[in-house]
A and B are shown apart, each in its own frame.
Chain A
Amino acid sequence: MSKTEIRVGGLGGQGVILCGMIIGKAAAIHDDKHATLIQAFGPEARGSACSAQVIVSEEEIGYPYVRRPDILVLMSQDAYHQFAPELRPGGLLLYEEELVHLDGRLPAGAKAMGIPATRFAEELGRRLVLNIVMAGFFTGVTGLITHEAIEKAVKDSVPKGTEDLNMRALRRGLEYGREAAAKANEGGV
């Protein structure tokens, strides 16, 4: 697929924009692809609906808005209610499984894969690396960007002194995503 439309959604304060930015950065700067990022906020950033639209493409991108996402990365129930119906039929939903409960609104043929990202982040020491766990999960499941590229993008993007915890969060999500993808390929989603 030469162009992939991605929407990352959640609540302000979950690092939704940073998650989208890291995916885009990994693709555009470290994987030599093209990427765009559009951010959207609710009336107040923290605790309100918030989403990032990311397009990753092998070719130049003429229109940066996501029309029909191929992949959704969702971290809140509100984001699921809002964005799940937009998913392309046969698309992929990656979701925080302790914060998002699925119902019948996913389009036909869509695949859904969950991760307890908040719990993983808390086990690692900081709930606020939840978005980095999700970025790792995205990479592990989709393979859209390389492991090396996402690692570099995370290192480039996080504050000094927090790199180690963020890298552990990324790897936790990445490994979980790879295992989930392998299970799905065996026919188990």
Chain B
Amino acid sequence: MKLEGFPRTIHLRDGLTLSVRPTAQGDEAALLHFYRELPQEDRLFLKDDVTTESWAERFIRRIGRGEATSLIAELDGKVLAEATLYRATHGWSTHVGEVRVAVARAYRRKGLATALAGLLVKLATDQGADKIIVEVVENQVAALRTFEKLGFHKEAVLRDHVKDRSGIRRDLLILANDVSHIWAAMEALVADTPLEEL
């Protein structure tokens, strides 16, 4: 699906302006470069080994199949952050979107993750999602705050679900943002009730 309104610029708290655009075929090498530069402990929290060429190829194919929508934030052609919205295309959770945001260390705490996550929430709503979830490890305090600001709340805790590099087990939090109220308003509008009630 072609995304409207891109590329667009976002302004960070420190005055830097980045360009954001949808990830597309041909971005494999830039994505790999970005993820290979992330510290290993950051990559541990990702579900896939994002440093392999096979992952990059699979990821781009998922975008092509409509299972993922990905945004890249870049400066002078260098990827500084990548954010993905995953949508199941069949099964019982097609109404749910899952987001993931990764930002290069040097560009954190500047509002970049918040801006990208906000764009993904908007894209999920535009695609008709009822609910958006994100997984955050308990000690990722900044990420937790970012998503809470965007309307997410803790919905589940998986105890000792992740193990960091030093072997410490940590809780994995599942945060959820129920955006179904937006669609409830639309459902009321198409309910074909008498006009004076609209």
User: How many CB-defined contacts (below 8 Å) exist between A and B?
Assistant: 76
Contact between A159 and B186 (Cβ–Cβ < 8 Å)? Answer: yes
Which of A13, A37, A161, A165 meets B190, CB within 8 Å?
A13
B51 within 8 A of A: no
* Contact A164/B195 with A14-B190, A126-B183 known, Cβ cut-off 8 Å: no
Cβ distance A165 to chain B, nearest Cβ, rounded Å = 5
Cβ distance A120 to chain B, nearest Cβ, rounded Å = 13
Bound-state CA distance A17–B195 (Å) is 8
- Residues of the A chain whose Cβ atoms lie less than 8 Å from the Cβ of B185: 159-162
Q: In the complex, which residues 121-176 of chain B have their Cβ closer than 8 Å to any Cβ of chain A?
A: 122, 125-129
A38-46, A66-74, A93-101, A103-111: which one contacts chain B? A38-46
Bound-state CA distance A17–B193 (Å) is 8
Contact between B192 and A14 (Cβ–Cβ < 8 Å)? Answer: yes
Contact between A128 and B195 (Cβ–Cβ < 8 Å)? Answer: no
- Residues of the A chain whose Cβ atoms lie less than 8 Å from the Cβ of B192: 11-18, 41, 45-46, 50
Contact between B193 and A45 (Cβ–Cβ < 8 Å)? Answer: yes
* Contact A128/B4 with A15-B190, A18-B189, A46-B192 known, Cβ cut-off 8 Å: no
B39 within 8 A of A: no
Contact between B127 and A15 (Cβ–Cβ < 8 Å)? Answer: no
Bound-state CA distance A129–B191 (Å) is 12
Q: Which of B's residues lie within 8 Å of A, judged by CB?
A: 4, 122, 125-129, 179, 182-183, 185-187, 189-195, 198
Q: Which of A's residues lie within 8 Å of B, judged by CB?
A: 11-18, 21, 37, 39, 41, 45-46, 50, 124-126, 128-129, 131, 157-162, 164-166, 168
| Given A18-B189, A50-B192, A126-B183, 16 extra CB contacts under 8 A | A13-B191, A18-B190, A18-B198, A21-B198, A45-B193, A46-B191, A125-B126, A125-B127, A157-B189, A158-B186, A160-B185, A162-B125, A162-B185, A164-B122, A164-B126, A166-B186
